[in-house]
């Protein structure tokens, strides 16, 4: 089933939770919806599931208008972070539930349901759990069963809302691989919500970055990491150091910055803002440079340096401890900041509107599109 969402808006009380969402998901695709808490991910999933209705916009699945359909007519498989399996039912009965409550005309016979459950148990590699109750399962096992329950009804669309969010990192990695395998075998059209970048990039065909009720960027890991489309995406992807620069003929300059490694960019002349990761800043000692090292801590592998500029304030750099001349990077040393890579957005508001890569003057006022 292919999903097409356009112009979707949703407001709760005074909050615009969705502000014009446009998204297409192809048949058989696994898309990860990645965004910080509060960005509207769950609301979007609930609208697709029919548990919530939008104020405006369209939702069609294989051309059919789903906003005309009640939740029970959509054949959705939904797995939440804390999925409530029926505690008084064994795993096999939990899996059978969705089929056994179908209207009589569509309900498979008992033997067919039992065979289907066996098949699913085997497919999901949870045969050994068949006769346990949910309380006798680990968190990871419970989520496998929850996915099994969602898959049992052969859903048209599978929606997973941070399904592994409550589990340990190691178990999450296992489940990720397992889920990817399940997806490849079933080919169901799947939307996977997460706020974990690694999870999103490892699992999905395409990652959809959401911020403040809008889709900020769609792409693969490398594109989103190296070429964030907006300041919001840059920050979300870890480029948390922001420095003012001046653009002239596609070249940037900034106070105490060495920007010579940045490629020339098609950006208008004038003020810009550079977004860079701490690990992409190399402080280079230089007697009359305007930045000073304020503090230095070691994580063993890395040195974290806090730097201060008399007008611009503080920035952070992270350098590999063993490969730098660490003895020169001590508090009070004057340094120039060599920027290995980063993204620049113009600050001129008119240019922002024109290029759609806007930049607010303060993070709080940011609009993601
Ligand atoms: N039923 C509701 N009533 C009022 N506000 C809501 C409701 N559901 C969600 N919100 C608000 O909508 C925003 C987005 O929520 P949500 O979709 O859960 O985001 P996410 O899943 O990305 O964390 C939040 O600010 C949340 O407080
Ligand atoms: Mg959520």
Running DSSP on this structure, what letter comes out for residue 71?
Answer: G
In a domain, 149, yes or no: yes
Residues 101 and 241 in one domain: no
Rounded distance from Cα 99 to ligand 1 centre (Å)? 31
Segment 159-173, tens digit of pLDDT: 999 999 888 888 899
Where is the domain boundary, 157, 189, 224?
Answer: 224
Task: Tell me, in angstroms, the distance from the centre of ligand 1 to residue 17's CA.
Answer: 7
Q: Please identify, by atom number, the ligand 1 atom nearest to the C-alpha of residue 40.
A: 17
pLDDT for the residue 359: 35
Average pLDDT over residues 310-333: 89
Cα(43) to centroid of ligand 2, in Å?
A: 7
Domain annotation covers residue 200: yes
- Give residue 363's pLDDT: 36
Calculate the alpha carbon distances from 111 to 89, 133, 150 in Å: 18, 22, 20
Strands 3-12 and 206-211: unpaired
Q: What is the CATH number of the domain that holds 70?
A: 3.40.50.300
Nearest CA to ligand 1 atom 10: 12
> Does residue 107 lie within any of the structural domains?
yes
Q: What distances in angstroms separate CA 91 from CA 75, 104, 122, 158, one per listed residue?
A: 21, 23, 13, 20
Helix (H) or strand (E) holding 110: helix 110-123
Residue 82: which of 173, 164, 178 has the closest Cα? 164
Q: Would you mind telling me the total number of residues written for the chain in this entry?
A: 369
Q: What value does the mean pLDDT of the chain take?
A: 90
**At which of 224, 259, 289 does a domain end?**
224
CA distances from 135 to 82, 87, 126, 141, 318 (A): 13, 7, 15, 11, 45
Atom of ligand 1 nearest to the CA of 39: 22
| Within-domain flag for 204 | yes
Q: Which atom of ligand 1 is nearest to the CA of 35?
A: 22
Answer whether residue 114 shows pLDDT above 80: yes
The protein residue whose alpha carbon is closest to atom 18 in ligand 1 is: 42
Higher pLDDT, 350 or 87: 87
Choose which residue among 10, 33, 40, 81 to substitute to test ligand 1 binding: the one with the highest number of ligand atoms within 8 A of its C-beta.
Answer: 40
3-state secondary structure of 206: strand
Residue-number span of the structural domain to which 152 is assigned: 3-224
| pLDDT (tens digit per residue) in 46-97 | 999 999 999 999 999 999 999 999 998 999 999 988 767 999 999 999 999 9
pLDDT at 4: 98
Query: Residues 211, 279: one domain?
Result: no
With vertex at residue 93, the alpha carbon angle to CA 88 and CA 96, rounded to the nearest 5 degrees, is: 140
* Per-residue model confidence (pLDDT) at position 365: 35
Residue in 154, 81, 143 with CA at minimum distance from that of residue 117: 154
Is the predicted pLDDT of residue 99 greater than 60, yes or no? yes
Band of residue 348 on the pLDDT scale cut at 50, 70, 90: low
Atom of ligand 1 nearest to the CA of 210: 22
For residues 9 and 22, what is the distance between their CA atoms, to the nearest angstrom? 10
Share of the chain above pLDDT 70, in %: 93
Structurally, the chain folds into a number of domains equal to 2
Is position 294 within any domain? yes
Measured CA distances, 224 to 2, 22, 216, 244, 367 (Å): 24, 18, 10, 22, 18
Residue with CA nearest ligand 1 atom 3: 12
Nearest protein CA to atom 6 of ligand 1, as residue? 12
Same domain, 144 and 27: yes
Does residue 283 sit in the same domain as residue 190?
no
Contact 144, 172 (CB under 8 A): no
How confident is residue 342, by pLDDT bands cut at 50, 70 and 90?
Answer: very high
| Residue 362 predicted with pLDDT over 60 | no
Do 247 and 353 have their domain in common? yes
Rounded CA-CA distance 306/318 in Å is: 9
pLDDT value of position 366 = 38
Shared domain check, 260 and 155:
no
Please identify, by atom number, the ligand 1 atom nearest to the C-alpha of residue 43.
17
Distance of CA 340 to the CA centre of its chain: 25
Are residues 47 and 72 both part of a single domain? yes
Indicate whether 368 pLDDT > 80.
Answer: no
Q: Does one domain contain both 352 and 284?
A: yes
Q: How far is CA 178 from CA 85, 125, 126, 214, 319, in A?
A: 20, 9, 12, 30, 36
pLDDT value, residue 354: 42
Question: What's 131-160 look like in SS3?
Answer: CCCHHHCCHHHHHHHHHHHHHHCCCCEEEE
Indicate which residue's Cα is closest to atom 17 of ligand 1: 40
Is 211 in contact with 233 (CB distance < 8 Å)? Answer: yes
Cα-based distances in Å from 317 to 232, 240, 274? 20, 11, 14
Ligand nearest to the CA of 43: 1
**Confidence band (pLDDT; 50, 70, 90) for 349?**
low
Question: Is 229 a member of any domain?
Answer: no
Q: State the distance from the centre of ligand 2 to the C-alpha of 42, rounded, in angstroms.
A: 4
Domain end, chosen from 190, 224, 258, is at 224
In sequence order, what are the beta bridge partners of 303?
298, 319
Is residue 178 assigned to a domain?
Answer: yes
Report if residue 230 sits inside a domain.
no
Mean pLDDT of 363-367: 37
193 and 129 assigned to the same domain: yes
Q: What is the pLDDT of residue 353?
A: 43
Residues 257 and 336 in one domain: yes
- Contacts of residue 191, defined as CB under 8 A and 6 or more positions apart, other chains included, come to 3, 25, 31, 32, 33, 45, 48, 157, 158, 159, 160
How does pLDDT run across 189-222, given as a tens digit for each residue? 999 999 999 999 999 989 999 998 999 999 998 9
Do 90 and 54 fall within a single domain?
Answer: yes
Task: Give the Å distance between the CA of 8 and the centre of ligand 1.
Answer: 15
Q: pLDDT band at residue 103, thresholds of 50, 70 and 90? A: confident
My answer on whether 41 and 115 are in the same domain is yes
Is the model's pLDDT at 358 over the cut of 90? no
* Ligand 1 pocket, Cβ-based, cut-off 6 angstroms: 12-13, 15, 17, 35, 37-43
Atom of ligand 1 minimally distant from the CA of 195: 22
């Amino acid at each position: 089933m292919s999903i097409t969402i356009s112009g979707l808006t949703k407001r709760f009380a005074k909050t615009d939770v969705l502000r014009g969402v446009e998204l297409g998901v192809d048949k058989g695709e696994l898309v990860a919806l990645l965004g910080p808490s509060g960005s509207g991910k769950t609301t979007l999933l609930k609208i697709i599931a029919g548990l919530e209705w939008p104020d405006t916009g369209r939702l069609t699945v294989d051309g059919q208008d789903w906003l005309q359909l009640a939740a029970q007519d959509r054949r959705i498989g939904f797995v939440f972070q804390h999925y409530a399996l029926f505690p008084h039912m064994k795993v096999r009965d939990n899996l059978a539930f969705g089929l056994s409550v179908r209207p009589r005309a569509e309900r498979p016979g008992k033997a067919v349901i039992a065979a289907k459950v066996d098949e699913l148990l085997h497919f999901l590699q949870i045969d050994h759990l068949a006769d346990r109750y949910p309380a006798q399962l680990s968190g990871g096992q419970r989520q496998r069963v929850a996915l099994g329950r969602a898959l049992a009804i052969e859903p048209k669309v599978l929606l997973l809302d941070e399904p592994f969010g409550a589990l340990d990192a190691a178990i999450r990695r296992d489940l990720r691989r397992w889920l990817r395998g399940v997806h490849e075998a079933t080919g169901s059209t799947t939307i996977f919500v997460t706020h974990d970048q690694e999870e999103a990039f490892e699992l999905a065909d395409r990652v959809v970055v959401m911020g403040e009720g809008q889709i900020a960027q769609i792409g693969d890991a490398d594109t989103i990491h190296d070429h964030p489309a907006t300041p919001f995406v840059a920050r979300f992807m870890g480029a948390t150091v922001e420095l003012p620069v001046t653009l002239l003929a596609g070249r940037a300059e900034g106070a105490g910055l060495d920007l010579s490694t940045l490629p020339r960019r098609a950006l208008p002349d004038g003020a810009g803002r550079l977004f860079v990761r701490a690990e992409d800043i190399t402080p280079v000692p230089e007697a009359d440079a305007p930045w000073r090292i304020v503090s230095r801590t070691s994580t063993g592998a890395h040195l974290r340096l806090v730097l201060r500029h008399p007008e611009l304030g503080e920035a952070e750099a992270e350098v590999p401890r063993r490969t730098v001349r660490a003895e020169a990077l001590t508090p009070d040393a004057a340094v120039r900041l060599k920027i290995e890579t980063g993204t620049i957005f113009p600050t001129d508001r008119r240019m922002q509107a024109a290029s759609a890569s806007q930049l607010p003057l303060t993070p709080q006022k940011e609009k993601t599109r």
